[in-house]
């Protein structure tokens, strides 16, 4: 039998048959040819326009080629030691993964079995839902309330097969967040019956003083798991490195699902150097604040509704299809995120980029609106 005619239907689980693959955007060189634009400003992935901290840049610039032949630390030993020192926790309370997607998968695989479900919001980082569903588990989605996670709706969605609750704080793409009182109240009501994951991918951007520090709450709630990443604030998205923290007991269980050697040496070394650069965090916050202060008045002048909270992005409601707006902006060399996939039709999300990129976006947006 020819390989092209092998019957696969009996081999593929039903939940995979009905799951659509995520198709990423083409590389910049291909997009430039496709849309006839040059330069191309990427304002679609919430990347840090300042780049990595100086010490992390030095690691990248001076990486010895011969080290590429040697396997990395299988459990990111030195990075876990540094994380433990920074947050005053035990190194064994941390697991490092190949980006946030992998640590999400670690947790779901560790606690879910056939018939189980997770609970999260319907308009948030979609990977919680995707990984649950293509792993054969169901995702119970609750609507946002005023662009934020609805704690009561999430609690009501829990049943006897709910294993994990995912809360993105601050939320991507809306920038809303639960304050300390809201999060503690939620944890108290869950009362240890489920694992609660607080995804703090954008926590370093938050300037609001009422924002809760998930790392501190780990001491109070042994069922809490905290996600963080080096992709956003620390600008190491291309190296794919994120981590989770939890109680020793919970992390010991999650560790059993980990794939060792999944985080490369360069990523581990760069993250180690980036971790404690507070000046980089402040420089980035200043830039984001300044560029938002330029962008938001323009949106008001154009009569556009927008949602701007914490984080390095702004959502904008347009008087046209978001996919049409995407094409129009791409033709002008500006790439944004259309939000239909986030269940926000006719909205776009724009990442705060360099001043030059934001100027190009402002001009392009004005032209397609007028």
Per-residue model confidence (pLDDT) at position 125: 95
- pLDDT, one tens digit per residue, over 94-139 is 999 999 899 999 999 999 999 999 999 999 999 999 999 999 999 9
The per-residue pLDDT for range 49-67, each reduced to its tens digit, is 999 999 999 999 999 999 9
- State pLDDT tens for residues 213-222: 999 999 999 9
Q: Is the pLDDT of residue 9 over 90?
A: no
3-state secondary structure the chain: CCHHHCCCHHHCCHHHHCCCCCCCCCCHHHHHHHHCCCCCEECCCCCCCCCCCHHHHHHHHCCCHHHHHCCCCCCCHHHHHHHHHHHCCCHHHEEEECHHHHHHHHHHHHHCCCCCEEEEECCCCCHHHHHHHHCCCEEEEECCECCECCHHHHHHHCCCCEEEEEEECCCCCCCCCCCHHHHHHHHHHHCCCCEEEEECCCHHHCCCCCCCCHHHHCCCCCCEEEEEECCCCCCCHHHCCEEEEECHHHHHHHHCCCCCCCCCHHHHHHHHHHCCCHHHHHHHHHHHHHHHHHHHHHHHHCCCCEECCCCCEEEEECCCCHHHHHHHHHCCCEECEECHHHCCCCEEEEECCCHHHHHHHHHHHHHHHC
CATH class of 54-274: alpha beta
Identify the weakest region by mean pLDDT among 8-12, 137-141, 150-154, 264-268: 8-12
Q: Is the CA virtual torsion 89, 94, 96, 100 positive or negative? A: negative
- Residue 5: pLDDT over 80: no
pLDDT (0 to 100) of residue 2: 54
pLDDT tens, position by position, 73-90? 999 999 999 999 999 999
Sorting pLDDT into bands at 50, 70 and 90, what band is 17?
A: confident
pLDDT tens figures, 311-324: 999 999 999 999 99
Listed in order, the ranges of the chain carrying CATH 3.40.640.10 are 54-274
pLDDT computed for residue 72 by the predictor? 97
For the domain spanning 3-51+279-369, the CATH number is 3.90.1150.10
Q: Please tell me the predicted confidence (pLDDT) of residue 271.
A: 98
Is residue 4's pLDDT more than 80?
A: no
Select the more confidently predicted residue: 22 or 32.
Answer: 32
Please tell me the least confidently modeled range out of 24-28, 94-98, 119-123, 164-168: 24-28
Q: How many percent of the chain have pLDDT more than 90?
A: 92
| Residue 281 confidence (pLDDT) above 80 | yes
CB 287, CB 352: distance < 8 Å: yes
Nearest-Å Rg of the Cα atoms of the chain is 21
What's the confidence (pLDDT) of residue 21? 84
Listed range (6-10, 222-226, 284-288) with the worst mean pLDDT: 6-10
More confident residue, 365 or 370: 365
Query: Between the CA of residue 269 and those of 8, 111, 127, 150, 233, what are the distances in Å?
Result: 42, 31, 26, 39, 16
Q: Where in the sequence of the chain do the CATH 3.90.1150.10 domains occur?
A: 3-51+279-369
Query: Is residue 3 scored above 60 in pLDDT?
Result: no
d(CA 161, CA 138): 10
């Amino acid at each position: 039998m020819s390989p092209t005619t092998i019957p696969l239907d009996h081999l593929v689980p039903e939940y995979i048959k009905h799951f659509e693959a995520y198709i990423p955007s083409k590389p910049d060189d291909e997009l430039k040819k496709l849309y006839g634009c040059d330069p191309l400003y990427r304002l679609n992935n919430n990347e840090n326009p300042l780049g990595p901290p100086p010490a992390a840049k030095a690691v990248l610039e001076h990486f010895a080629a011969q080290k590429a032949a040697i396997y990395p630390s299988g459990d990111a030993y030195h990075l876990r030691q540094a994380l433990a020192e920074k947050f005053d926790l035990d190194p064994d309370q941390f697991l490092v993964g190949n980006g946030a997607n992998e640590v999400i998968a670690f947790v779901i695989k560790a606690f879910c079995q056939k018939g189980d479900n997770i609970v999260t919001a319907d308009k948030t980082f979609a990977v919680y839902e995707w990984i649950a569903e293509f792993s054969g588990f169901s995702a119970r989605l609750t609507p946002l309330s005023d662009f934020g996670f609805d704690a009561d709706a999430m609690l009501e969605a829990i049943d006897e097969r709910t294993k994990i609750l995912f809360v993105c704080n601050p939320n991507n793409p809306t920038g809303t967040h639960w304050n300390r009182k809201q999060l503690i109240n939620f944890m108290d009501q869950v009362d240890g019956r489920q694992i609660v994951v607080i995804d703090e991918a954008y926590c370093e951007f938050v300037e609001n003083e009422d924002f809760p520090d998930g790392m501190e709450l780990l001491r109070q709630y042994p069922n809490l798991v905290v996600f963080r990443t080096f992709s956003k604030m620390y600008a190491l998205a291309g190296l794919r490195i994120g981590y989770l923290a939890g109680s020793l007991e919970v992390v010991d269980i999650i560790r059993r699902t980990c794939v060792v050697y999944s985080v490369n040496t360069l990523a581990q070394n760069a993250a180690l150097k980036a971790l404690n650069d507070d000046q980089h965090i402040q420089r980035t916050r200043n830039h984001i604040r300044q560029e938002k202060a330029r962008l938001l008045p323009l949106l008001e002048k154009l009569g556009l509704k927008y949602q701007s909270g914490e984080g390095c992005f702004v959502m904008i409601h347009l008087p046209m299809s978001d996919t049409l707006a995407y094409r129009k902006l791409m033709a002008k060399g500006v790439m944004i995120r259309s939000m239909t996939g986030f269940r926000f039709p006719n909205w776009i999300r724009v990442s705060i980029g360099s001043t030059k990129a934001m100027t190009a976006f402002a001009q392009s947006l004005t032209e397609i609106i007028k």
